[in-house]
C-alpha cells in the first residue's frame, strides 16, 4: 500500500484510531485471535462492501503477511479479509445529512406560471380592435394571424432559451447576453413575418401580432436572466386595464395606450439587461476587420496552418443541441392549440372554443416546475435510502406517482375554475376532462424527460402526436374530441413507459 486510506477528521489533524488489542492478565486464557480481531474491527468490517476494503484496513494497521501467518494462521491479508468479511454481518451506516440541491421556492415557480398566463389578458384589451368577419375556419377575425405569429415565435424562443441557458451553465453570462441580443430580435422578425403571411385579417391584427412577437422576445430575455419580477411589473398596466375593461367600458385609445405601455416597458427592461453597447462594438469591429482584411488573410488561412492533430471545434454549446427543444415546443404548442380550437378547426361552431383548457395548461406550468424539482429531490433521497436497484425503482415509481397525481389535481382545479369563470365556455364533459388530464400528463412527463437530458425522445413523441392530430384534422378522420383523446392517451402512455424505463436506472439520477 502506498499510504493510509483514512481521511482526516473534519476540524482535526489526527487520523481515526483503530482499537488496539486488549491485554490479558495472568491466569486469563487467551481469546481466539480471530474473534478478538473481528470484535476490534467490527464497525469497519460490517460497513465494507468487499473483502478488499478489509484487506486495506489490515495493511494500513501495519499487519504484514508474515505477522498474519504467525498470529492468525492465514496465508496473507486477503485470505484473512475474506474470512472476516464472511464472519461479520453487513451493517451499513446511514449517510450524513446533506442539503437538498433540488429545493426551490414554490413562490418563484408560481410567479413564473402567472407570468406565462398574464399576457393572455392582452387579447381582452385588443378584442374590440380585432372586429371583422370570421376567418376562413370560422374563428374570430385575426385569430389565425395571431396564432401563426405566436406559434413560430414560441418555437424559436424555446430554442433560443436553451442556448442561452447552456451558456449560463458554462458560467459565461456575457455569451448568454450576446446570444439573446442576436436571437431575440431575430425571433421577433420571424414571428412578425409568419403573421404577415396570413392574408385576409384585420389591419390591427398584424400590428398586434408584431407587438406580440416583440413581447415574446423581451420576455425570453428577462426570464432567462432571472428577471421575473421586472417582467411582472411591466405586465401590470396591461393586466389591470384588462380586468377593469371587463366591468366598465374603456375607450379605444386607452386600450391601445395600456398595451403600448406594457410592451414598451418589457422591451426597455430587456434592453437594459442585454450587453447592447458591447454588442455594437463587437459588430463594428468585425465589420472593420472584414473590410481591412487582405487576400489570403484571416481565419481561413489561420485554420489551414493548424496541425493535423489539432482538431478545430467551435467553442461552447452546439446549435444542434438546442433544436430538439424547439421541436418539443412546437409539438406541445400544437397539442395545446388543438385542445382549445380542435373542434372549431374541424368545422364545429365557434362556441366550441375551449379557451379555459389552454389557460389552465399555461397556469399549471408554475406548479409543474416545482413538482419536477420535487421529483428530483425525492429520487435523490430514494437513491440514498434504497439497498438494491429493485428497491430504488419502487421508490422512484412512488415518487413519480405522487408528483404526477399532484400536478393533475392542480390542473383539474384550474380547468374547473376557468370553465366556471369564463363567459360562454363549453362545459367540462367527461371526454374534455380526460383529454385535459392526458395532455397535462404528456406535458409533465415530457418536461421530466427533458430535465434528465432525454429531450430528443420527448420531442419525438410530442411532435409525432401533434403530426397525427394535424393529419386527422386535414383529412377529416374521426370525431375531433375522440381523436384528441386517443392521441393524448397514446402519447401519455408512451412517455410514461419511457420514464419508467429510462429513469428506473440509478445511473440516470447522478
The predicted-structure confidence for 334-388, as pLDDT tens digits, reads as follows 998 888 776 666 555 555 566 788 888 988 999 999 999 999 998 888 887 777 8
Rg of the chain, C-alpha, whole Å: 32
Q: 152-156, 186-190, 475-479, 485-489: which range is least confident on average?
A: 475-479
Give mean pLDDT, residues 28-52: 79
- Rounded CA-CA distance 367/374 in Å is 10
Distance from CA of residue 302 to its chain's centroid? 40
Q: What's the mean pLDDT when you consider all of the chain?
A: 82
- Rounded CA-CA distance 235/267 in Å is 11
Q: Dihedral sign for Cα 373, 378, 384, 387, please.
A: negative
- Rounded CA-CA distance 117/107 in Å is 16
- Rounded CA-CA distance 447/372 in Å is 8
**183: CB partners within 8 A, 6+ apart:** 156, 160, 163, 164
pLDDT of residue 174: 87
Helix 77-87 vs helix 33-40: crossing angle, to nearest 10: 70
Helix 252-273 vs helix 203-224: crossing angle, to nearest 10: 30
Beta strands in 234-375 (DSSP E): none
pLDDT of residue 11: 45
- In the DSSP assignment, the letter for residue 488 is H
pLDDT of residue 240: 92
Give mean pLDDT, residues 72-83: 86
Cα–Cα distances in angstroms (integers) from residue 388 to residues 49, 270, 375, 378, in the given order: 13, 50, 19, 16
Distance from CA of residue 279 to its chain's centroid? 29
Question: For residue range 42-72, what is the model confidence (pLDDT) as tens digits?
Answer: 888 888 888 888 888 888 888 888 888 888 8
Grid cell of 179 as nine digits: 446570444
DSSP string, 64-93: -HHHHHHHH--SSHHHHHHHHHHHSPP-PP
CB atoms within 10 A of CB 62: 8
The most distant pair of C-alpha atoms in the chain lies apart, rounded to whole Å, by 112
Length of the chain: 510
Q: What angle do CA 60, 64, 65 make, to 5 degrees?
A: 130
b/e 39-53 (16+ beta carbons within 10 angstroms → b) = ebbbebbeebeebeb
Question: For residue range 426-476, what is the model confidence (pLDDT) as tens digits?
Answer: 777 888 899 999 999 999 999 999 999 899 999 999 999 999 999 988 888
pLDDT of residue 249: 81
Question: For residue range 198-256, what is the model confidence (pLDDT) as tens digits?
Answer: 887 888 889 999 999 999 999 999 999 999 999 999 999 999 998 898 888 888 899 99
Q: Which residue has the cell 433560443?
A: 160
Amino acid at each position: 500500500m502506498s499510504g493510509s486510506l483514512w481521511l482526516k477528521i473534519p476540524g482535526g489533524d489526527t487520523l481515526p484510531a483503530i482499537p488496539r488489542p486488549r491485554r490479558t492478565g495472568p491466569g486469563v486464557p487467551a481469546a481466539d485471535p480471530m474473534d478478538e480481531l473481528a470484535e476490534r474491527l467490527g464497525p469497519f468490517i460490517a460497513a465494507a462492501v468487499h473483502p478488499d476494503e478489509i484487506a486495506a484496513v489490515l495493511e494500513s494497521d501495519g499487519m504484514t503477511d508474515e505477522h498474519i501467518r504467525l498470529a492468525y494462521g492465514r496465508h496473507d491479508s486477503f485470505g484473512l479479509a475474506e474470512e472476516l468479511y464472511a464472519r461479520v454481518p453487513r451493517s451499513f451506516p446511514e449517510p450524513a445529512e446533506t442539503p437538498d440541491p433540488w429545493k426551490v421556492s414554490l413562490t418563484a415557480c408560481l410567479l413564473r406560471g402567472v407570468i406565462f398566463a398574464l399576457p393572455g389578458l392582452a387579447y381582452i384589451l385588443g378584442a374590440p380592435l380585432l372586429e371583422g368577419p370570421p376567418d376562413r375556419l370560422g374563428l374570430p377575425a385575426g385569430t389565425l394571424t395571431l396564432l401563426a405569429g405566436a406559434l413560430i415565435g414560441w418555437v424559436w424562443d424555446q430554442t433560443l432559451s436553451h442556448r442561452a441557458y447552456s451558456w449560463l451553465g458554462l458560467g459565461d453570462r456575457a455569451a448568454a447576453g450576446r446570444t439573446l441580443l442576436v436571437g431575440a430580435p431575430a425571433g421577433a422578425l420571424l414571428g412578425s413575418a409568419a403573421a404577415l403571411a396570413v392574408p385576409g385579417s384585420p389591419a390591427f391584427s398584424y400590428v398586434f401580432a408584431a407587438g406580440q412577437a416583440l413581447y415574446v422576445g423581451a420576455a425570453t430575455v428577462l426570464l432567462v436572466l432571472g428577471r421575473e419580477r421586472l417582467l411582472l411589473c411591466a405586465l401590470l398596466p396591461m393586466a389591470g386595464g384588462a380586468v377593469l375593461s371587463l366591468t366598465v367600458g374603456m375607450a379605444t385609445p386607452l386600450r391601445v395606450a395600456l398595451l403600448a405601455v406594457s410592451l414598451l416597458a418589457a422591451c426597455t427592461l430587456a434592453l437594459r439587461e442585454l450587453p447592447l453597447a458591447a454588442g455594437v462594438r463587437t459588430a463594428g469591429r468585425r465589420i472593420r476587420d472584414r473590410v481591412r482584411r487582405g487576400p489570403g488573410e484571416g481565419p481561413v488561412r489561420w485554420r489551414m496552418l493548424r496541425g493535423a492533430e489539432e482538431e478545430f471545434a467551435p467553442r461552447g454549446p452546439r446549435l444542434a443541441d438546442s433544436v430538439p427543444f424547439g421541436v418539443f415546443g412546437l409539438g406541445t404548442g400544437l397539442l395545446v392549440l388543438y385542445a382549445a380550437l380542435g373542434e372549431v378547426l374541424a368545422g364545429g361552431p365557434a362556441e366550441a372554443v375551449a379557451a379555459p383548457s389552454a389557460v389552465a395548461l399555461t397556469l399549471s406550468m408554475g406548479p409543474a416546475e416545482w413538482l419536477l424539482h420535487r421529483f428530483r429531490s425525492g429520487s435523490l433521497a430514494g437513491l440514498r435510502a434504497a439497498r438494491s436497484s429493485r428497491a430504488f425503482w419502487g421508490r422512484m415509481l412512488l415518487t413519480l406517482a405522487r408528483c404526477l397525481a399532484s400536478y393533475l389535481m392542480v390542473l383539474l382545479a384550474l380547468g374547473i375554475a376557468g370553465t366556471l369563470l369564463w363567459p360562454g365556455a363549453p362545459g367540462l364533459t367527461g371526454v374534455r376532462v380526460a383529454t385535459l388530464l392526458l395532455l397535462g400528463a404528456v406535458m409533465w412527463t415530457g418536461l421530466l424527460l427533458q430535465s434528465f437530458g432525454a429531450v430528443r425522445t420527448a420531442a419525438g413523441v410530442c411532435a409525432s402526436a401533434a403530426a397525427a392530430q394535424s393529419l386527422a384534422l386535414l383529412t377529416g378522420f374521426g370525431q375531433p374530441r375522440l381523436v384528441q383523446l386517443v392521441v393524448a392517451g397514446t402519447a401519455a402512455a408512451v412517455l410514461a413507459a419511457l420514464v419508467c424505463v429510462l429513469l428506473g436506472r440509478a445511473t440516470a439520477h447522478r
